[in-house]
Amino acid sequence: MSRQPGLSKACLRGHPARAHLEDGGVSAAKADEPQRRLGRGLAALIGEVGDEGAVLDRAARPQRRAQIAQLRASRANPRRSFREEDLEELTASVREKGVIQPILVRRLAGESDQFEIIAGERRWRAAQRAGVHDAPIVVLDVTDREALEIAIVENVQRADLNAIDEAAGYEQLASQFSYTQEKLAEVIGKSRSHIANTLRLLKLPESVKAHVAAGALTAGHARALLALPDPEKAAEKAVAKRLSVREVEAMARAPEVKSADGARKPRAEKDADVRAIERELSEALGLAVTLTPKAEGGDLTIRFTTLDQLDMVARRLRG
């Protein structure tokens, strides 16, 4: 992908200048147009997500090199887990080629030659393991809030991020920066239904989330487990027997389930039409919608996590 020079770090600070992707490149919008799309501007600054060998635009991103020992991990880094297998693979690449994609940093307060990592901790860890002594960096002049926002957006856009860390990143953007699901979808480049479905994974028990974070279960497994009365027990079974996503979904569609007292009770089976309507409503609202058929009628449940989402639903219902 070709890039045009001249994109400044002001794009990260809500400066009137804005960056966006256009015909495969980066161009500046009119100066009086407010900055709205931090995520795509960020992607333009750091290269396509997950591409460790992205070719950088030196004019847009002034660089320098720093000793690995000068860099410090941020305690606010939203990424909580690094898969050992992926880290070893990256370490081998760094050992052979060095660190190619710059690490985004800011200066540590009161330290002239020490930097806090904003984005790129995985590259830094791999460089330490590989015995590499220095790496390219881009120094940003940002506040604590801006640094955290950049770190979260960069992390949730990564292809190798597990679904639980992705969901935690979305939740952090919503709770700390008042991102609605609509804004999340725009910034991250995902559909609103994907955002809503991913956020729902945070309702799973901690042990189930740990399996997903470790890679023992996929996001597909996790979504299917949400429909079960005892997702923790079902998750242990899925891991032990290496069940596929379809097999876990079949467990969720079982005609009978056990209640808390051990008695068996019938589960209302959803036909294809009901599931299709659920899916259409979820995509239209960008929220999780559940239809529960009953002997007479049924229930319609719309799950929301912020008052903005509730206001949006109310506006839609009022027409």
The letter for the amino acid at 165 is D
Strand partners, 265: 257
Q: Which residues contact 217 (CB under 8 A, 6 or more apart)?
A: 208, 211, 225, 235, 238, 239
CA distance 64 to 67: 10
CA distance 173 to 74: 17
Token digits of residue 219: 């996001």
Mark 281-315 as b/e (b = at least 16 C-beta within 10 Å).
bbeebbbbbeeeeeeeeeeeebebbeeebeebeee
Q: How far is CA 58 from CA 45, 46, 102, 221, in A?
A: 10, 11, 11, 43
| N residues, the chain | 319
The residue annotated as part of the active site, out of 22, 85, 121, 278, is 121
Q: What SS3 string covers 79-94? A: CCCCCHHHHHHHHHHH
Whether 121 is a known active-site residue: answer yes
Q: Which residues are catalytic?
A: 121
